[in-house]
Amino acid sequence: MNVLEIKNVHKTLGKRAIIKGIDLSVKEGEIFGFLGPNGAGKTTTIRMLVGLITQTRGDIVICGHNLIKEKEKALKDVGAVVENPELYKYLSGKENLVQIARIRKASMRQVNELVKLVGLEERINDKVGKYSLGMKQRLGLAAALIGNPKLLILDEPTNGLDPSGILEFRAVIKKAAKEKGMAVFISSHILSEVQNLCDRVAFINNGLIQSIEEIKGQNISTDKDSVTLISTTDKDMVLKVIKNIPYVIESKLEGKEINILLEKNMSSKLIKKLVSENIDICEFYKNRQGLEERYMELMEGGIK
C-alpha cells in the first residue's frame, strides 16, 4: 500500500518554477531517501508534504487523503521534523511531549517509551533551552513519533548527533518502519547514512526527479569491480568467452547488457582479451557501486 503519493506536483514562486513536475510514492514500511544539492527543491517539497505551503498544481495524497481537499485527515497520519524541531524552550522536554500527546490523544505510557527510545531519560526534565542541538533532534524525533503516525517525514534528522546518536537514530527508524509498518520519507546530505538506512532513494536536481532507485542489497564491495558490456557480437558467444576468463567472477545477460563482476583493476585486461577474441564492443563502462558515486554521476555530470 502506498502511504504517500506525489503526482505531477509543481511549485512556482512568483515567476520562478521551483518544482517542475515530480512523481514518487512511498510504501508502507519503506524508508525512502530524498537527495539533492542545495536549491534542488528538497525543502520546498517537504514543506508541501507537511502542509506549510501549497503546491501550484498536482496532487499529494497521504493514506488516501488529498492534502488540499482533506488537509486535516491527511495530516492526521503524519509525524515530521522539518529543519529545526519546533519546541517550547521554557518547558522541559517532558512537558513538550505531554502537550503533543494531549493533542494526539496518546498515552503517557507511549511518551515514556519514546523518551527511553531516543535516549533522553536523564535530561527529559530539563528545560529545552538548555538542550544541545543533538538533544533537540532526539526530542523532535520523539515528538514526531507520538501517536504512531503512518508517515514520518524527516529533514536532516541526524544534524547535531554524535556517532553513537546516529547509530541509535538508525535503529529507531528501522524499528518504526519494519515493526510498525511506518513509511519514512527522509532528506539528508549524509550519503553514507542514507545508504545504510534507506530502501529506495530519489535524486532531485533543479526541481526535477533525476532518478528513483533501489539501494538495498547493492554490491558496494571495494575488492571487486562491476562493469557493463554492450556488444554487437552474438551474446551467447560473448558469455562463453567471458566465463572462461579466470579473473571474471560472474557474468549475466540482462537485455542488451552483459553485467560482469571481476577482480579489482582487471577492466583494461578484460577489454584487451575481448578485442583479441574479435568481440565487437559498442559500450563498456564501470558501474557505480556506492551512493556517493551515483550521486556525483547524476548531479555533477560524472562519467560512468
- Say if residue 302's pLDDT is above 50: no
* Mean pLDDT score, 96-102: 94
Q: What separation in angstroms does the CA of 140 have from each of 137, 181, 274?
A: 5, 20, 57
Q: Residue 103 burial (CB < 10 Å; 0-12/13-18/19+)?
A: exposed
> Which of 139-153, 217-231, 264-278 bottoms out in mean pLDDT, i.e. has the lowest?
217-231
Instruction: Name the nearest CA neighbour of 36 among 207, 216, 196.
Output: 207
Question: Average pLDDT in the 244-253 region?
Answer: 88
Q: Is the pLDDT of residue 263 over 90?
A: no
pLDDT tens-place string over residues 201-218: 999 999 999 988 887 645
The CATH number of 224-288 is 3.30.70.980
Q: Which tens digit of pLDDT belongs to each residue from 1-35?
A: 899 999 999 999 998 999 999 999 999 999 999 99
Report percent pLDDT > 90 for the chain: 46
Asked if residue 253 has pLDDT above 90, the reply is: no
The more confidently predicted of residues 290 and 7 is 7
What pLDDT shows up at residue 289? Answer: 58
Domain chopping of the chain, boundaries: 2-214, 224-288
CATH architecture of 2-214: 3-Layer(aba) Sandwich (3.40)
Q: Is the pLDDT of residue 238 over 70?
A: yes
The three cell numbers of residue 57 are: 498544481
Q: Which residue has the cell 546516529?
A: 166
pTM of the model: 0.75
Q: What φ, ψ does residue 129 adopt, rounded to 5°?
A: -60, -20
Residue 210 carries which side chain, given as an amino acid letter? Q
Sheet order of strands, 2-13 included: 16-27, 2-13, 57-62, 65-66
Q: In the chain, what are the helix, strand and coil shares in percent, each to the nearest 5?
A: 35, 30, 35
CB count, 10 Å around CB of 75?
18
pLDDT of residue 223: 60
